[in-house]
Amino acid sequence: MPDPHRQYEIRCPVHGFITLNDWEWEIISQPAFQRLRRIRQLGWTDQVYPGAMHTRFEHSLGVMHVATRLYEGIVSRSQGLLQSELAYNEDGLRRDKTVVRLAALLHDVGHAPFSHASEELFPSHAEGGKYKHEDYSAAIVRQKLRDVIETHREGDNYGIKVEDITALLEGRPEAGRRLFWRQLITGQMDADRMDYLLRDSLHLGVDYGRFDWRRLMHTMEAIPGTEGESLRLGVNEGGWHAAEALLLARYFMFTQVYFHKTRVAFDFHLRQALGEMLPAGFFPKPEGSELNAYLGWDDWKVLGLLAEGKGGEHGERLANRNHYREVHHTPEVPKPPDLKELERVREKLGSMVVAEENAEKSWYKIGQEDIPVRGQRKRPKVKTLSKYSSFVARMKPIRKVMLYARPEHAEAARKKLEGSRRQNR
Q: Which of residues 236-295 bind its own copies (CB under 8 A)?
A: 241, 245, 248, 252, 255-256
Element (H, E) at 139: helix 133-144
Shortest Å, Cβ 239 to its own copies: 10
CB of 255 to its own copies, least distance (A): 6
In angstroms, give the least distance from the CB of 57 to its own copies.
Answer: 6
Find the part of the chain contacting its own copies (CB under 8 A) among 80-88, 96-104, 200-208, 269-277.
200-208
Select 70 or 167, whichever has its Cβ closest to its own copies.
70
Report which of 74, 334, 87 is spatially closest to residue 187, judged by C-alpha positions: 74
Name residues contacting its own copies, limited to 351-370 (CB under 8 A): none
User: Does the footprint of its own copies cover residue 339 (CB under 8 A)?
Assistant: no
Q: With residue 101 as reference, give the H or E element that holds it.
A: helix 90-106
Q: What order of strands is seen across the sheet that includes strand 398-405?
A: 325-329, 398-405, 353-361
- Distance of closest approach, residue 167 Cβ to its own copies, in angstroms: 29
**Residue-by-residue DSSP string for 169-230:** HHT-GGGGGGHHHHTTTSSTT-HHHHHHHHHHHHHHT-STT---HHHHHTTEEEEPPSTTPP
Active-site hit among 15, 54, 107, 133? 133
Site string for its own copies, 384-423 (x = CB under 8 A): ----x-xx--xxx-----------------x---x--xx-
Q: Does 4 bind its own copies (CB under 8 A)?
A: no
Contact by Cβ (8 Å): 99, 168: yes
| Integer Cα distance of 166 and 184 in angstroms | 15
CA–CA distance from 251 to each of 105, 111, 255, 259, 265 (Å)?
Answer: 25, 23, 6, 11, 20
The nearer residue to its own copies, 150 or 332, going by C-beta atoms, is 332
Give the C-alpha separation, 408 to 421, whole Å: 22
Helix (H) or strand (E) holding 9, with range, is: strand 7-12
Q: How many residues bind its own copies (CB under 8 A)?
A: 73
Nearest approach in angstroms of CB 401 to its own copies is: 16
Indicate the SS3 state at residue 405: strand
Binding mask 5-44 for its own copies (x = CB under 8 A): --x-xxxxxx-xx-----------x-x--x--xx-x----
Closest separation between CB of residue 247 and its own copies, Å? 11
- Chain centroid offset of residue 346 CA: 32
By CB under 8 A, name the one of 23, 71, 136, 211 that touches its own copies. Answer: 211
Is 226 a binding residue for its own copies by CB under 8 A? The answer is no
Among positive and negative, which fits the CA dihedral 17, 20, 25, 29? negative
- Restricted to residues 297-316, the positions that interact with its own copies (CB under 8 A) are 298, 300-301, 303-308
Which residues between 120 and 149 bind its own copies (CB under 8 A)? none
Contact 31, 291 (CB under 8 A): no
- How many Å apart are CA 229 and CA 227, to the nearest integer? 6
Which one of residues 46, 170, 276, 287 is an interface residue with its own copies (CB under 8 A)? 46
Q: 241 an active-site residue?
A: no
Of 86, 102, 204, 216, which one interacts with its own copies (CB under 8 A)? 204
Residue whose CB is less far from its own copies, 9 or 174: 9
CB 220 within 8 A of CB 73: yes
**Interaction residues for its own copies, span 71-110 (CB under 8 A):** 76
Which residue numbers are catalytic? 133
